[in-house]
Structure 1
């Protein structure tokens, strides 16, 4: 499992961005509207998420649209469940 995914998901702001993008694609401005952080701070968080391949971006006209990369998110969740899931316990 890519360590950058763990770094990305360790921050509450980035987890909130993931939740927002779960609703659908958004511009950086639309994402920033949900936070009190300055726009450059949100951009840094988006860069970390992109580096972890959790988020992809695409230019549409003058806007950059951010979307979840659900494949990576599903792989990360599957890894977590495999290693930390509560299925078979020896209690």
Structure 2
């Protein structure tokens, strides 16, 4: 699995790969189902899926003779979010606000249990 933002952004550079990620947002799909959504050949879609897998943006699992793909949305969100926070100060502020809110919610939940 790739560990760099460069690999992730390279994977996101192609519109077909971005569309595959969008198609996977609602749940896993078989490779054949994914390929059926495009006018390109099956091997071409397979190569795109390989790029996404290498970047850690999708996972695959075998079910008999089918390969099912799933989106790794948290990796995508964290990678893009980390990049945005370095170039967009507003993202840094939003991240800090989210941390404070989640910390406050966790404290309130802990207090409610007592």
User: Structure 2-normalised TM-score?
Assistant: 0.71
Query: Which residue is 1:71 aligned to?
Result: 74
SS in structure 1 opposite 2:90?
A: coil
User: Aligned match of 2:51 in 48, 53, 74?
Assistant: 48
**Which of structures 1 and 2 has the larger relative contact order (alpha carbons within 8 angstroms, sep 6+)?**
1
Which of structures 1 and 2 has the bigger CA Rg? 2
Segments of structure 2 that go 5 or more residues without pairing to the other structure are: 92-114
Instruction: Give the ranges of 4+ consecutive aligned residues of structure 1 lying more than 3 Å apart after TM superposition.
Output: none
Q: How far did 1:86 drift?
A: 6.5
C-alpha RMSD over aligned residues: 1.6
State the distance in 1 between where 2:62 and 2:71 align: 15
Deviates more, 1:40-49 or 1:24-33: 24-33
Query: Which residue is 2:26 aligned to?
Result: 23
Query: Which residue is 2:60 aligned to?
Result: 57
User: Could you report, residue by residue, the CA deviation over 1:20-63 in whole angstroms, capped at 9, with x for unpaired residues?
Assistant: 00121001111011110000000000000000000000001111
**Higher helix proportion (structure 1 or 2):** 2
Segments of structure 1 that go 5 or more residues without pairing to the other structure are: none
User: Aligned match of 2:38 in 35, 38, 58?
Assistant: 35
